A and B are shown apart, each in its own frame.
Chain A
Amino acid sequence: MSLEGIVTLENVNRVYHMGDHEIHALKDISLSLETGKLVVVLGPSGSGKTTLLNVLGAIDKCDGKITVNDLEITRLGKKQLTKYRRKKCGFIFQFFNLLPVYNALENVEYAIELATNLSRKEVTERATEYLRKVGLFEKRFHFPSQLSGGEQQRVAAARAMAKSPELLLCDEPTGELSVNEGKKVLTVIQNMVKERSDVLTILVTHNQKIAAIGDTIVRLRSGEVDSIEEQTPIPAEQLSW
């Protein structure tokens, strides 16, 4: 396997200690993933897919080597890792994780403000633009408690993309949503991928059907890469599950 491209993982291992037990969540993972692609990581529960996402997002530790655009994140200290997450990673969580004290616009502004040096006005403009893209311009002043799950996840998607990350990490983004809402969220993600050829999007799911929207499917089993498939993605609107 070639180790060229934006993100490379070499012999990545992650072992959890639960009392006397050891759980090998990732076993010698080596991967190379390219910019502009939507990579779907597929696998059953406990296969290590979320752990893979966590180590890529630098919110979990691992052994081995991970390089993102020539930056070896496995060698970074705590401050540099914070900077890495702030500037280079966009996160979409299963449970949306919007900050409840902020409205939709502010949630997006928050991420932009952390990642960039834009003025307050520019931050607002960019946040508004992204909310428009995800179809929530009208609800930009709504607080999370006033939004449906799907709407919240679209705000989360806007928040993740508005900061112009190099890596967009989506962890079961439809896990808590209805099919319709899920499709809308996936469409948003897919559209963003199309717009941004400099972003690598990694979407973790256990849903085989959702894998159809990806350019690449990485199958994990028991912490190991089972297979990597390239495919022609289908639009998210056409999915049904």
Chain B
Amino acid sequence: MNFLSQYWRKKLIGDIKQQKLLFSALFFLCIFGVGSYVTLTMGYTNLYASLDRIYATTNFADVEINTHSDIWFNISEVESFVKNFSKQNPEVGTINFRLLAASGYNSSIETKDGTRFQLTAGRAIGIDWTFSQTEMVNGFIFTEGMENPNPVNNSILLEAHYARTYDLHVNDSLQTKINGQEFNLTIQGIVYNPESLIVIPSRHDFLPNNRFGNIYLPLRALQEYTNLTDLANNIIIKLADDLHDEARSSIVSNFYRELNLYTTNSFAPPIFQEYQVSNWAINMDLEEINKIAIVLPILILGVASIAIFITLNRLVQSQRRIIGIASSLGYTPNDILLHYTSFSLILGILGSLVGIILGILLSGGITWVYAYFMGFPAIISVELQLEVILSAFFIGVSVTFISGLIPAVKANLISPREALQGNITVGKGRFSFIEKLLRIRSFRIRFTIPLRNLFRQRSRTIATIFAISASVMILVVSGAFNDSINTGISKQFSETSPYHLTVSYDGFKFADLGLLDDIAFIEQLPGVESVDPVLELPSILETSSRKEEALIIAWNSSSPRAHNFQWTSKGDQLLPNSSLILTSGLARTLGSSTGSILSYGYPRIPYLNSAFEIANATWNIWFTFGEERARNETLDEIYSLITRNKERLSFSQTSEGVNLRNADITVTGVSEEIWGSVAYTTVQTLTESMGIDIFKNSHLDIDLSPYSKLILKVKNPNNLTILENIKTEISSLSEIRSITFGYDFRTSVNLTMTAFNVIVTIFIIFACILAGAAIFTTIHINFQERARESATMLTLGLSDQEFLFIITIENVFQTIMGILGGILPGLLLADWILSNALRTFYFRIIVTPQTWIILWFGVLLIVLISQIPAIIQGVKMDLAEVTKEFSH
């Protein structure tokens, strides 16, 4: 094919050779643009494909329905309903019934200070083991142990994240606490499960937590441990494949409606697969990757297209004579057009091809790195995606081709007469706006040249500034992310919630049923500074227009010692009764502020009503033996009722699982914290709403205020021995499920941040390359274009240092403008991403002085480095030859 005539082919190769540095820079920009698109898009798609494979292998439930937290259903009764429903609706595939119960473990972990035991929380999941792996919804991927285990009552399957954290293996024993009793359970297999690909205890405990242990055991065994014979509280449903969203939604809502009719409203609303907490968290991450996969290549290819346009425009200008001669010798306009578009085509084709190859290799890496950090099973799908490859090639070639087309058309339009005529002026001289503004007349004339140069070719200056701004935007977003999150987390744990130990109870512990004794016991332990009991409850907060799920943390006093509210306005105040303090993220989501009145949902605990009746009866029986006797016997009776039926008193971790009633409450303050869905109130407010105060306000005079946690501050938190001693003493108390050190929690937060920091680092590298390539291209072009005048200045006696100074000032000025131009959009973009992508958190945008310094100096340094080749070329140029060049 005679693509180009021999002359133009030779010229093309010659031009590329002559401009090899510039061509290389543009080539790399194309590679980066196309490469980043392929890497991130294929990484994103591969991760989704991996998820799909994992979900397909494990029969991940399409929907999950839980009973309200204080209700269990009889399996045989619901089973008959389900059979009937399935008969009428063949789209319903498989349905499994499960029993979920809170659990706690005593596990040991190797640390640098030796072996430490840890009391950790988790969930026991009772499943029908008679199902085969294909029938089982939410089945397993085994990393250790038999794929078809035949578990006896004291054996379990352990979720892989927990097993890895505590180095547990098949046949190891796991000390487990369920329903207040301790069991030694043998691990029969280590498994992954689709519900916990990222282990997140609940939507309110949304940080990935590999210390949260999910165990799977036979349904009957768990029923026995929890005194819930024949009962279950969780239904998981796998629908027929290829069901449309509408059909899926319709069938599930029918099922739910009929189920609730059948069981008199025992069930909380269904949770579809996309809202299952682990899947939801992964999807949020993947959506982030998807957004980046769009924004980053746009920025890079945008800069590449500007650079190509500037370069080719310059090439056409410098070759006007050649174009003129060629035209007059009879070459057609098409030859010329084809020649100059060939540059951008070659760049586009080569850059896209190399970018695609690199992108394919790196996308595998991204998939693997994400899966590694999140602890996915080894089913990773890395596939060549033809549509991504083709679209990357199309985008890469189109962007470069279009960027080169305008200069090529310009070349094509030059008439031979015009082209052969005279010199080409490289931008007209004019007084710069700044000189006029500042009236710089006393300035040394040779130092005004950078200012003049800036205003000489405004479009190029603006393009360069835009390219630097694009890089700075990426840097600001990365820096603001890093600083906002790190500062937010650091402030939360060091100033707002400066606690050192958290003790979680099995369900609740009631004030007069041991909690006050526990507090008294802990307060006298050496090293303990303060103990605050708290009650955590999932709730729904509503305004007239908005509704938001929230976690309410209730303190037993209006001024907790382990929590310092960070007020956002002067009118904010500590907790009076019947009031609520919102965290700023939640206030923003709800559109509420201090003084707003909200409706909040509180749980009902019908079991407590029957407990109250039993307690009354006990009191009456024993009252004839004296009030003290009556009180002691009543307390014993209540204690026995509660410890035997602890599961009946525990709430689900999410508000979907809680049957809520509503009451109005006034917002008395907004505290700036990192949690996006947390509100604070007092225990008294909640117990009054829940009707628990009847115990206190009756002749029984028993304070049954429920608490779920103790928050401890110690005097010397750095002394690990004291902390360990306190933990050991506390673990001897009854009904303790888990004890977490503040720094353990921070460690898991930091671990989560590691993956994030890797992404930030990649961003920063991209941004630096972008800034460097942009400035390198412009400087190089500017230098080529102004070679004769530079040579003239040097010939007239300008020293190398002055020459360096002039070039540097011009570039520094462009850089400063670029940085200033990139800061505000960067901050706005960071704020948008932080507030939209991280709904469960709230981070105020913060950029620390260190980051600003690094940003300014970093970008300036890159610019200074990028100008080195042009300056070397400048000071080494042959003055005799260049001063005599006819045109630029």
Contacts and interface: CB of A to CB of B under 8 A. Distances in A.
A95 interface: yes
Secondary structure class of chain B's binding surface, majority of residues? loop
Interface string A89-129: 10101110101111100100111011100001001000000
A114 to B, nearest CB: 5
A113 B880 contact: no
B265 to A, nearest CB: 82
Interface size class of B (residues with CB under 8 A): 20 to 34
A106 B427 CA distance: 17
Given A59-B880, A79-B799, A120-B441, A143 B792 contact: no
B789 A100 contact: yes
B715 interface: no
A113 B886 contact: no
Nearest to B425: A145
B795 A59 contact: yes
Interface string B844-864: 000000000000000000000
Interface stretch (A30-38, A80-88, A130-138, A180-188): A80-88
Residue from B456, B793, B794, B880 having most chain A Cβ neighbours under 10 A = B880
Residue from A89, A91, A97, A144 having most chain B Cβ neighbours under 10 A = A97
B215 to A, nearest CB: 77
A93 B445 contact: no
A97 B797 contact: no
A101 B456 contact: yes
A60 interface: yes
B880 A102 contact: no
Contacts of B427: 100-101
B881 to A, nearest CB: 9
Interface in B782-828: 788-789, 792-800
B641 interface: no
B428 interface: yes
B458 to A, nearest CB: 13
A131 to B, nearest CB: 15
A50 to B, nearest CB: 7
A110 B796 CA distance: 9
Given A114-B796, A120-B441, A97 B883 contact: yes
B436 interface: no
A101 B453 contact: yes
B797 A115 contact: yes
A113 B429 contact: no
Contacts of B880: 50-51, 54, 59-60
A120 B453 CA distance: 21
Interface in B374-430: 423, 425-430
Contact of A102 (B442, B444, B452, B794): B452
Contact of B426 (A60, A82, A85, A100): A100
Contacts of B446: 110, 113-114
B429 A144 contact: yes
B444 A113 contact: yes
B286 interface: no
Nearest to A79: B799
A57 B795 contact: yes
Contact of A99 (B430, B442, B449, B884): B449
Interface residues of A, number: 38
Interface string B193-211: 0000000000000000000
A103 B441 CA distance: 14
A94 B884 contact: yes
B883 A93 contact: yes
A224 interface: no
B749 interface: no
Interface in B421-479: 423, 425-430, 441-442, 444-446, 449, 452-453, 456
Nearest to A143: B429
Residue from A57, A91, A114, A144 having most chain B Cβ neighbours under 10 A = A114
Residue from A94, A99, A106, A123 having most chain B Cβ neighbours under 10 A = A99
B884 A113 contact: no
Contact of A113 (B441, B445, B452, B788): B445
B168 interface: no
B511 interface: no
A166 interface: no
B798 A93 contact: no
A176 to B, nearest CB: 9
Interface in B859-888: 878-880, 883-886
A120 B442 contact: yes
B800 A99 contact: no
B429 A83 contact: no
Nearest to A83: B797
Nearest to A57: B795
Contact of B883 (A59, A100, A114, A123): A59
A91 B425 contact: no
B457 to A, nearest CB: 11
Contacts of A151: none
Contacts of B429: 99-103, 143-145
A120 B441 CA distance: 8
Contacts of A106: 445
Residue from B426, B796, B883 having most chain A Cβ neighbours under 10 A = B796
Contacts of B442: 120
B452 A95 contact: no
Contact of B430 (A60, A78, A143): A143
A114 B801 CA distance: 13
Contacts of A171: 884
A79 B799 CA distance: 7
Interface string A139-166: 0000111000000000000010000000
A133 to B, nearest CB: 19
Nearest to B449: A101
A86 B796 contact: yes
A82 B797 contact: yes
A101 B792 CA distance: 13
B788 A102 contact: no
B798 A114 contact: yes
A101 B884 contact: no
Interface string B719-749: 0000000000000000000000000000000
Residue from A57, A95, A100, A101 having most chain B Cβ neighbours under 10 A = A101
A145 B886 CA distance: 15
Contact of B800 (A82, A86, A159): A82
Contact of B425 (A51, A100, A159): A100
A60 B788 CA distance: 16
Given A79-B799, A115-B797, A97 B788 contact: yes
B884 A100 contact: no
Interface of A: 50-51, 54, 57, 59-60, 78-79, 82-83, 85-87, 89, 91, 93-95, 97, 99-103, 106, 109-111, 113-115, 120, 123, 143-145, 159, 171
27 contacts: A50-B884, A54-B880, A59-B879, A60-B880, A82-B798, A82-B800, A83-B797, A85-B795, A85-B796, A86-B798, A93-B883, A95-B885, A97-B789, A97-B792, A99-B429, A100-B427, A101-B453, A103-B429, A106-B445, A110-B446, A111-B796, A111-B797, A113-B446, A114-B446, A120-B444, A144-B429, A171-B884
Interface of B: 423, 425-430, 441-442, 444-446, 449, 452-453, 456, 788-789, 792-800, 878-880, 883-886
Counting from the closest, the 4 A-B pairs by CB-CB distance are A86-B797, A101-B452, A59-B879, A143-B429
